[in-house]
């Protein structure tokens, strides 16, 4: 786990918590701006594939981690060089949620390396990536009884077949769902 006595450790914890709590794509997470985050409602507004916008909820743990990071964020923001931000959704002032130590927006590559580093430090499993956290998010929701269509919406998938691949739907899970839900099962 990140060292939360350090501001960058608090940032890293917020990244990890938000990834798992929301199932965001890596590009969606690094593309978040401050005005995309509603901490009191615990939701983020995301611009996904195909330029489709969606609202994604996150849990209290992620909200707490984000609050801790946002309290530190300003000290990194002041270090940022005034370079124009490249955005899919143009804004007058793009203020990234997650900053690097120089005050610029974190890159997808940096976040990928960050996730892999923390996983390697606390697990014997290799190959866990931000994308694997997205898969885990979807699979855990399904195992807890969430509707596949709701998971599809949360992940921002256009087709249900894509969601089914993410959730590793197996025959035993389908049979159990059938038994629980069908009145004549």
- For the annotated catalytic residues, the residue numbers are 25, 49, 131, 134, 157, 166
Sheet holding 37-38, edge to edge: 37-38, 43-47, 53-57
Q: How many angstroms separate the CA atoms of 68 and 48, rounded?
A: 26
- Give the burial string for 4-17 (b: 16+ CB within 10 Å, else e): eeebbbbbbbbbbb
**Angle of helix 148-155 versus helix 130-143 axis, rounded to 10:** 160
Distance of CA 149 to the CA centre of its chain: 19
37 membership: H or E segment, kind and range: strand 37-38
User: Given phi > 0 = left and psi -120 to 50 = alpha, else beta, which region is 2?
Assistant: beta
DSSP-based three-state secondary structure for 132: helix
User: Given phi > 0 = left and psi -120 to 50 = alpha, else beta, which region is 46?
Assistant: beta
């Amino acid at each position: 786990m990140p060292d939360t006595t350090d501001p960058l450790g608090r940032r890293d914890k917020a990244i990890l918590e938000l990834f798992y709590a929301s199932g965001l794509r890596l590009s969606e997470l690094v593309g978040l701006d401050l005005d995309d985050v509603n901490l009191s409602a615990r939701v983020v507004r995301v611009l996904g594939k195909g330029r489709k916008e969606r609202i994604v909820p996150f849990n209290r743990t992620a909200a707490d981690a984000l609050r801790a990071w946002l309290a530190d964020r300003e000290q990194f923001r002041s270090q940022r060089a005034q370079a124009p931000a490249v955005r899919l959704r143009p804004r007058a002032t793009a203020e990234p949620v997650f900053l690097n130590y120089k005050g610029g927006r974190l890159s997808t590559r940096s976040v990928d390396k960050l996730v892999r580093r923390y996983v390697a430090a606390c697990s014997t499993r290799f190959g866990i990536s931000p994308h694997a956290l997205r898969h885990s998010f979807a699979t855990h929701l399904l195992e807890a009884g969430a509707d596949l269509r709701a998971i599809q919406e949360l992940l921002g998938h256009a087709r249900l077949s894509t969601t089914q691949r993410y959730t590793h739907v197996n025959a035993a899970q389908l049979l159990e769902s059938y038994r629980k839900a069908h009145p004549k099962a």
